[in-house]
Structures are given as structure tokens and as C-alpha cells.
Amino acid sequence: MNLRTRLAIAGGSVVVGALVLVSVVLYPAVEANLRGQIDSSLVVAVGQAPAVAMAIKAKYRMSNAEPDFPAVPLGIGSTQLQIVPDPVRIGPSTQFVDLTARDVAVANGTATAYFRDAVYNGVGYRVYTAQFPGSPGVLVRTAIPESDPVPTLRELAWLLAGSTVAAGGLAALASRLAARRVLRPVGRLTETVELIRTTGDLAIPIPADSRDEIGRLGSAFAAMTAALDESVGAQRRLVADASHELRTPLTSLTVNLELLAENLADAQAPLLAAEALGQAGELRTLVNDLVDLARYGQPAFHTEDVRLDLVAERVAARAARRAPKIEFELTCAPTLVHGDPDALERAVANLVDNAVKWSPSGGRVRISVKAGILDVTDAGPGIPDSDLEFVFDRFYRSPAARAHPGSGLGLAIVRQVAEAHGGTTEAVPCQSGAILRLVLPVCVEHAEPR
């Protein structure tokens, strides 16, 4: 069952339920209203009893006879009127409804008038018993057959039933037509998503024209496919670049190992083994950089407030131990950022290692931290202006850099970490050396230098 049919059934069911509820309330209300009207007409008929009695007396006066009220009720329209001058015989009656002690009490004025339902000759009556107006001891009873309102109630029942069924059908039809129109954008969105699934082309535009919930859904799908397309493209580029970078050291390592296997007694064997170990180390470094690049592209599992200036001091101290011929100069102000401490330390270490690699023996590496900006300046040959925008790209290595060891991923990891923390990276133009900058959002800024 499709969604349009379910909406049609739901719409029709709601209308039918509402009308059934209205019918359940309306039918008893109409029935009670009709009964109230009958009771009112019975009371009015009692008020007309003196006029009826006078008419009977006048008839007997014209015939010079004593007036004798008939025991059988008189029919006035659908209303039956019975006058009992001396209601003393309590019990069954062949003329009308039986007399009771309560009827006698009403005639004597010791009980109030009342209504009751009774059956006479197989016909149900609504009976009103009261004292004859102005004549204590005289009883008057009016009655109306209970079958009188039945046709009206039957017509009302059929009307309510027919209206409920017809309204339910019309509501279901209208709901289906409305659902077809409302769900048309959903159908187009579904067709587009199915086309993307079939073709695998994430660049297919997703319709998101309206501003309602369906438009928001389309915008969310469009954003999702765009992010997925970018992720897939980045993955393909990474695989292509990694395969290209891995091919050269693997080929060289294979050649050296083959030469070693041909003649282990060769005098060049130690040199070949050393080169093989060096190339294996380069491969290990490249693989580790690839793993870090993928890891830092994901949300951090642990974040906290980090003193960026203290991170820079720790990284500089380690670098000074590894490169004793390089001088380090630090200008760090207390700077608090929020992020993954391991990722931030790796990014700062990559910047410092890059500066150490390009600085000559006896050169100076300057590290500056202030207001969320970390600058690392080396004493190397500098970066051509044409290469500044590519420095932080993955696997990018300028012609001069290809003579130095490295995978071309260190600065790409720096950019990845910066973007994961809402920051940026930049290669700042300068006359001598190179200035690489890492900018991160600051939690608390301290202006006092250390």
C-alpha cells in the first residue's frame, strides 16, 4: 500500500470517526428533544381539558340530559384525552390505561402530576396524569403514542448513516487527490535518489525548490550527496596520489632486495641493505602519515582546552634535542584553544620539523604564538610565490623539495588538523626563509607575553 492510499484511508477514517461521534451525540439529543416536545404537548392538552369538558356539557345541555363523561379517551389529533370524574376504582381498565393509587392521589391533590410510559392494546403511550384544572377529585390523563417520533428518528438515523458514509468517501477521495499533489515533490526526490543509486553519479542535482519540510528534506539530501561526492573525490585523489608516491620507493626497495638475493657475498651488500632499510623507513613514514591524514579528517574523540603556547614549547624542546645544530627562538604568549591535544601537537610538530628540514646548519627557527596564531619561520631558501598556495596540498613537493626526504603529507596533515578545529593555514610571503602559519579559534586570550 503506497503512501497516497494510506493518507486517503487516514483522511476518510478521521472524517468517518468525527461524524460517528457527532451522530452518537446528536441522535440521543434529538430523541430527548422530541420526547420533551411530546411532554410539553401533553401538558398543553391538560390545560385544554376544561374547554373539552365545557363542550361535552353543552352537548348534553342541548339534549336536556345529565352530562356523562365518556370512559374511553377522546382523540384530539394524535393526543388522547381522558377525564375521570370519580377515580375510586383502582385496577385494570378496559377503556384505557389502568388506574393506580398514585392516580387517585393526584386527583385528590396529595400527589403531583407525573409522566409515565404505558401500553394499551399493544400500543405504547406516553401518559401524563394530572388533577383536572380547578376541580379537586377529578382526574385528567393525556397520552400520545410513542410511535409518533419513530419515523422522524428513523429518518434521522438513515440521514446520519448516509452522510457519514458519503462524507467518508468524499474525504478519502479528497485526501488522495491532495496527497497526490503534496507528495509530487517527494516522488521527484525519490526518482532522483533512485537515479543516483542506479548511476552512482553523486553530481546529479536534487530538486529542493519549496521552503516547506519537503524542501528542507531535498536540501538535506543535496547537502549530503555533495558532502559524499566531495568525500569520494577526496578518497579517489588520495588513493591515486598515494599509489603514485608508493610506487617509487617500492620499486627501489624491490631492486635492492633482488640485488642482495643474487649475491649476498657482494661487497655492495651492506650498502644495498642500508638503502633498503632507509627506503623501508620512508615507506613506514609515508604509511603513518596516510593513517594520520585519514584520522585527523574525522571528528576528534577527545577534546579539551589546550595551551597552544605550551604545546609549541614542548615540540621545540624535542626538536632541539634531535637537531642540536639548529637554534630555536620562542616568543609565546599564553593562548588557550579547544581541540584534540594529540592532533594539535602533531600539527605543530610537523610545522617545526619542516622548518628544521629547510634550515641550514647553524640556522635559526623562530616560533611565535599569540592570539591563536602560531607562526614558524625557518632560515631556508624560501618558497617561490607561485608555490605558496600549494604548500599545504597533499603530496605536493616543489622541485627543490624532491631532493629532501619526506612524503609530502606533513603540511597536509597540518591543514587537516586546522580545518577539523575550525582554523586555517597559510604560507606567508617573506623576503628570506619561509613563514608557515596556523590559525585556531581562541577560547581565552592572554595578552601578557611569557
What is the set of active-site residues? 244
Encode 347-375: b = buried (16+ Cβ within 10 Å), e = exposed: bbbbbbbbbbebbeeebebbbbbbebbbb
Q: Which three cell numbers stand for residue 217?
A: 528534506
Looking only at the bridges linking them, the beta strands covering 327-332 and 364-370 are: parallel
Q: How many CB atoms lie within 10 A of CB 10?
A: 14
Helix axes 184-199, 213-262, angle to 10 degrees: 10
Which amino acid, residue 164? T
- Give the DSSP H/E element, type plus range, for residue 69: none
Read off the DSSP letter of residue 132: P
CB atoms within 10 A of CB 139: 21
Tell me which H or E stretch contains 47.
Answer: helix 3-47
Judged by phi (left if over 0) then psi (alpha if -120 to 50, else beta), residue 438 lies in: beta
Helix or strand (DSSP H, E) at 373: strand 373-378
Q: Which helix (H) or strand (E) holds 437?
A: strand 434-439
Residue 386 is which amino acid?
Answer: S
